[in-house]
Chain A
Amino acid sequence: MTAAASFLAVTVPIEWSIFLGLALFAVGLIGVTCRRNILLMLLSVEIMLNAVNVLFVAFSRVHHDLAGQVFVFFAMTIAAAEVAVGLAIVIAVYRLRQSTDVDDAQDLHDVDHGPLPRIVLEGEDQHHHDHDHHDDHEHGHAGDGHGDEAHGHDAEGHAAAVSGEDHHG
């Protein structure tokens, strides 16, 4: 208990600290959602982590417990680890794509196979829906000019349930 410490204590309202944490977190959110550069997104995540650290310190005062400050230490440890791995991934991705723009990595997006084929019910009047059914097949072939994978198979089983997905790896 140093004299300097007691001199500084209690004069800063604790709400200020909490507000600072909240504001920093909001800023970090803006960064994560609005930036497309993966490095800057990581950077924004660091801001959010720091915001949480501020709250840890503030609440360690509220509860008069040093555990909060110990946790800041742990958070920093995890942050360091995260940055190390994250940046390694950035480098790997950059090697692969020559880009750090997240929008260039869209491999997980939906592939358009065109409309699904119609299911003809057992006992349904064939002629009644024959036209629709035929149409669907036309779409199934023509509407697949999306690029990456051609919908090249001929759907077997005119009247049975036909599914196109299982032919796409």
Chain B
Amino acid sequence: MATQVLYILFGGMALGAALLAVTRKNPVASAIWLVVMFFGLAATYVVMEAFFVGAIQILVYAGAIMVLFLFVIMLLDLRQQMLEGKPTTRLRFFGVLAALLFLVVGVVALGDAKDRGLLHRAVTPLPREADIVAANPDATSLVDLPLDGTAGAIADEMFTRWVLPFEVASVILLGAILGAVILTKRRLT
């Protein structure tokens, strides 16, 4: 019960912050609201027992990405840009309509998936999870089993199964860094 309350609290916070972030006129305000959203989401991750994800959500997003955003906003001194022209009403109408339609479709699909039992897969006593299954005799579906989202468990997974994608990701980051440097240094005419 407590977890559900926490989840609604933090989830609602994230959702509200996101809405505010996209509707603020001032870009700085938007960025700040986005930081709020990141924190909210990190909290929901923790509630979902994804501790490592929650931690890097704060470190990477709130710490690094948002700082970059704010840095750029302030660098460009966007105060003059605040009074941006409004997009045509028709465009805005279609955008909102499409987003709402997406939400409706998603919810219907979610209900459908639930009806088909896709969200509650039966417990399969794999050797790897044999002891977890044994420790939770009450569990009726995989969701009910506890999932260890600590850094150690993630590290075990990441440096065994996903070690190659991990290395590729580092190359991508390197490429992005170089690209960013070149894009900002070269004089574009």
Question: Out of A30, A50, A88, which one reaches B37, CB within 8 Å?
Answer: A50
Q: Given A20-B11, A85-B180, are A37 and B81 also a contact pair (CB < 8 Å)?
A: yes
Q: What is the CB-to-nearest-CB distance from A62 to chain B, in angstroms, rounded to a whole number?
A: 6
| Residues A62-111 near B (CB distance < 8 A) | 62-64, 66-67, 69-70, 72-74, 76-85, 87-92, 94-96, 99-101, 103
One of B61, B76, B107, B183 near A89 (C-beta < 8 A): B183
Inter-chain contact A94/B47, CB cutoff 8 Å: no
Majority DSSP secondary structure for residues of B touching A: helix
Contact (Cβ within 8 A) B44 A30: no
User: 13 A-B pairs, CB-CB below 8 angstroms?
Assistant: A19-B107, A22-B107, A33-B99, A34-B22, A37-B27, A43-B21, A47-B22, A61-B143, A85-B176, A87-B68, A91-B184, A99-B81, A103-B87
Query: How many angstroms from the CA of A36 to the CA of B8 in the assembled complex?
Result: 32
| CB–CB B148/A11 < 8 A | no
Q: Given A19-B107, A33-B91, A101-B81, verify A47-B18 contact (CB < 8 Å).
A: yes
- Indicate if the CB atoms of B73 and A39 lie closer than 8 Å: yes
Contact A26 B100, beta carbon cutoff 8 Å? yes
Q: How far is the CA of A163 from the CA of B94 in the complex (A)?
A: 37
Across the interface, do B157 and A66 meet the contact criterion of CB distance under 8 Å?
yes
A residues within 8 Å of B by Cβ? 1-2, 5-6, 8-20, 22-37, 39-40, 42-44, 46-47, 50, 53-54, 57-58, 60-64, 66-67, 69-70, 72-74, 76-85, 87-92, 94-96, 99-101, 103
Report B's interface with A, CB cutoff 8 A.
1-4, 7-8, 11, 14-15, 18-19, 21-22, 27, 30-31, 34, 37-38, 41, 44-45, 47-50, 52-53, 56-57, 60-61, 64-65, 68-69, 72-73, 75-76, 78, 81, 84-87, 91-92, 94-96, 98-100, 102-103, 106-107, 110, 114, 118-121, 129, 132, 135, 139, 142-150, 153-154, 157-158, 161-162, 165-166, 169, 172-173, 175-177, 179-181, 183-184, 186, 188
Chain A residues within an 8 Å CB radius of B162? 67, 70, 74
Give, as a whole number of angstroms, the nearest-CB distance from B67 to chain A: 10
- Residue from A14, A35, A83 within 8 A of B119 (CB atoms): A14
Instruction: Determine whether the beta carbon of A63 is less than 8 Å from that of B183.
Output: no
Q: Is the CB of A11 within 8 A of B145?
A: no
Nearest 8 pairs of A and B residues by beta carbon: A33-B95, A81-B176, A31-B22, A88-B183, A22-B106, A88-B180, A29-B99, A64-B142
The residue that B61 contacts in the complex, of A32, A50, A100, with Cβ under 8 A, is A50
Cα A36 to Cα B22 with chains together (Å) = 11
Residues of A within 8 A of B98 (CB): 29, 33
Q: Which listed residue (B14, B148, B183) contacts A1, Cβ 8 A?
A: B148
**Bound CA–CA A44/B21 (angstroms):** 8
Chain B residues with Cβ below 8 Å from A83 are 65, 68-69
Specify which chain B residues have a CB less than 8 angstroms from the CB of A35 in the assembled complex.
22, 84, 87
| Contacting pair B154 A36 (CB below 8 A) | no
CB-based contact A73/B184 at 8 Å:
no
Residues of B within 8 A of A32 (CB): 95
Which chain B residues lie closer than 8 Å to A79 at the CB level? 60-61, 65
Q: How far is the CB of B124 from chain A (nearest CB, A)?
A: 9
